[in-house]
Amino acid sequence: MGAHQSIHAGKAKLDVGVNLIQKLYSSSHVLSPLRIFSGPFSLANGSLCLKLPTLFGNGDLLDVSWHKGLHDSNLLINHRTPRPPCLGQRSLNIVHSLKPEIGIHGIPMNNFCHSASGDVRISKLSIGLDMNEPSSCNWKTTTSVHFKHIHFINDCGRSVSRDLDGFPLTLSGNSYDNMVMISQESRFEEANDHKFSHYSFRVEQGIPIHPNLAIFNRFKFSASKGVKIGSAFFSTLFNGGSLVGATAPYEAFAIGGPNSVRGYGEGAVGSGYSCVVSKNEFSFPLDKQLTGVIFLDFGSDLRSSNRVLGNPGLRKGKPGSGIGIGYGIRFKTELVQITADCAINAFKQRTLYFGINNLLL
């Protein structure tokens, strides 16, 4: 059950969405809600988005968005000041997120189709500046400088510095890490009614704010293409990355989940300092509003799990590579798109995924 409301006040706009859902638990994926999520609102799943143009009278724009899920929350504050296109754009961002850390420290269950809580939650605060360079030939480049504060707590809300097996969660050995992250990302996008191409390359350098901690570097890439074949459409996505240097386990790549290799729980395939993931999907119309889909996903940590501090992948028994195949449907209306997928992993375990996307937001 849910509701959505838009409120206009002059040039400002406020979007509010609230969903009340029944929590369905299985023995393989049980998360205890934090105290801040307890009470009558523990079943609420909602969002709030506020847009304030010309806040300081110079054509600037302030965006504030907040999302609360059953076990996670995310706050984003973005302020942009208009600049001539030849100079690029700059924006100030403040982001805070809180969620269970199951991608690295979760426990795979039911033939790796679910990931149970390891009694670890991660809180991330990021404050920084993004600078977008002028676009040229479909390429866009963004350079960012962010201060990041990462803090770990358990399911009861208490600060923790080690996981259930006694291994450190941070590089400093405390319950938190602080660092400065410098990154640059280049993106290429090209699309028409018959095909699309997306490419992105991202380089990051993390500088921990601690005299005894080392600098680390990370490289990420993503390439996706799609082509229309008659009335059907085929798309493929290939992404991956690698990390060099000493850093904490939370910086590792987590492989598995609905946005990675379907058929596996989040991070249940593996967690390492290198990874590759391939997602392939063939969709075909069933009628004007209904689309059928078949897909094939693959992911691997490239045998890099032993490089992660404490080797959580080996301790949790993750296979390191996995394949998922399946099928699904997409039902689209003027207001929402409903998705349903059934995925089967390499251990012949079935997993169902359901989603509702609000097309108005």
Q: What are the pLDDT digits (tens) for 144-191?
A: 999 999 999 998 999 999 999 999 999 889 999 999 999 999 999 999
The domain locations on the chain are 83-358
CATH placement of domain 83-358: 2.40.160.50
How far is the C-alpha of 182 from the C-alpha of 193, rounded, in Å? 37
Residue from 143, 145, 102, 151 nearest 125 by CA:
151
Residue from 50, 173, 29 nearest 102 by CA:
29
How far is the C-alpha of 220 from the C-alpha of 240, rounded, in Å? 6
Q: What are the pLDDT digits (tens) for 237-267?
A: 999 999 998 889 999 999 999 999 999 999 9
How far is the C-alpha of 229 from the C-alpha of 207, rounded, in Å? 47
Tokens matching residue 126: 């990021």
Give the model's pLDDT for residue 24: 35
Q: What are the pLDDT digits (tens) for 305-360?
A: 999 999 999 999 999 999 999 999 999 988 888 999 999 999 999 999 988 876 66
Residue from 44, 310, 332, 2 nearest 170 by CA:
310
What predicted TM-score, i.e. pTM, was given to this entire model? Answer: 0.84
